[in-house]
A = this chain, B = another copy of it.
Amino acid sequence: MKKSEFGFIGDIATMFGALPHHGFEPIGDDCTVLDMGGEALVMTTDMLIEDVHFLRHAIKPEDVGHKSLMVNISDVAAMGAKPVATLLSIALPEGAQGEWSERFMRGYYEASKERGVALVGGDTTASRDKIAINVVAIGRAPMANIKRRKDAKVGDVIAVTGKLGASSKGLVDIMFGDVNTPAAKIHCRAQARTAEGAWLGTRSEVHAMMDVSDGIASDIKHIMELSKVGAEIELDKIPTDYDIRFATTGGEDYELLLTVDSAAFDTIAEELFKATGTTLTKIGTITEGDSLTWLEEGKPRELDLNGFTHF
């Protein structure tokens, strides 16, 4: 749970902070972390509501199922852990209890099978009119592999896996009726960087890590705030096939955003590519202070859009 998500009712983290923690780390990362004596168990949860996160008539039920799984295991990957299992709760109005739910489960199963993740529990219930879905993803890793947002260091390279912007470009394509563009297909079939996350977890030169869910312009601020650092990002280095606005402020790319010891960056990038076939691109540097500076051809440039925030 990101702390800001409970902003609407004041500081829940403080309210519950006085209760016993039973070995769980404080709130603030993509996942909660439980130290089971050297081995970490990480957990994350996400709720998807019809007409808020998806429109029933505009997206295939298989895609909703596939995405529900992928976005949650992406949070596990962002911790440097390997996703092993999920719990699925689903509330279905009458009109979705037959074919819709079966097709949803097919997509959820396909994604689970692709990533070797078990379904170990859940709940199903009726709802009056809208579909509600809640997924919990569980991951495991040695405690030493766990990456947190608070561990960026001044001088670190800021890097991203893959390319940014396709998912939000795809959403715009879909809104304009172009449902078969490459970007639209990427939007409907997010791919969590599970192999990459687990591999990066094994490297101590990787300091902070998170997944790109709201766009790097918004997401980098979580690392800055928790690590108490600033950042410079070079717009012309951001790997994208689309408009830079999609690549910086569009959401749902589910790439990994990380900071790496600058001396080790080239080696890490090369070895990650060898291990997974995925590129790692330097897009900036962690700085002192607390401000985010965008650079273009080495010169500061204003970027007037912020990453979008759900709710």
Q: Is A176 at the interface (CB under 8 A from chain B)? A: no
* B87 near A47: Cβ-Cβ < 8 Å: no
Q: Is A91 at the interface (CB under 8 A from chain B)? A: yes
Contact of A31 among B27, B89, B92, B121 (CB under 8 A): B121
Binding site for B on A (CB under 8 A): 1, 5-6, 8-10, 12, 15-16, 19-24, 27, 31-32, 34, 36, 39, 41, 43-47, 49-53, 84-85, 87, 89-92, 97, 101-102, 105, 109, 112-113, 116-130, 132, 134, 136, 138, 140, 310-311
14 pairs from A and B in contact (CB 8 Å cutoff): A5-B123, A6-B122, A8-B92, A10-B102, A12-B105, A16-B118, A19-B119, A24-B84, A27-B121, A32-B120, A43-B138, A45-B122, A125-B310, A126-B311
Give A176 Cβ to nearest chain B Cβ, in Å. 24
Nearest to A44 among chain B residues (CB) is B121
Give A90 Cβ to nearest chain B Cβ, in Å. 8
Known contacts: A120-B27, A310-B125. The answer to whether A49 contacts B91 by CB under 8 A is yes
* A45 near B311: Cβ-Cβ < 8 Å: no
* B8 near A47: Cβ-Cβ < 8 Å: no
Apart from A16-B119, A32-B87: 14 A-B pairs, beta carbons within 8 A:
A6-B124, A8-B92, A8-B101, A19-B113, A31-B121, A41-B41, A45-B136, A46-B89, A49-B125, A49-B132, A52-B128, A89-B134, A127-B130, A130-B130
Nearest to A39 among chain B residues (CB) is B36
* A132 near B91: Cβ-Cβ < 8 Å: yes
Contacts of A310 in B (CB 8 A): 125-126
Chain copies in the assembly?
Answer: 2
* A19 near B101: Cβ-Cβ < 8 Å: no
Contacts of A91 in B (CB 8 A): 47, 49, 52, 132
* A118 near B49: Cβ-Cβ < 8 Å: no
CA distance A310 to B52 in the complex (A): 26
* B15 near A85: Cβ-Cβ < 8 Å: no
Contacts of A109 in B (CB 8 A): 15-16
CA distance A164 to B11 in the complex (A): 38
Contact of A102 among B9, B87, B123 (CB under 8 A): B9
Contacts of A117 in B (CB 8 A): 19
* B47 near A123: Cβ-Cβ < 8 Å: yes
CA distance A22 to B130 in the complex (A): 33
CA distance A84 to B84 in the complex (A): 21
* A121 near B19: Cβ-Cβ < 8 Å: no
Known contacts: A32-B87, A132-B91. The answer to whether A8 contacts B97 by CB under 8 A is yes
Contacts of A24 in B (CB 8 A): 84-85, 118, 120
Contact of A121 among B39, B45, B50 (CB under 8 A): B45
Known contacts: A6-B124, A36-B36. The answer to whether A87 contacts B43 by CB under 8 A is yes
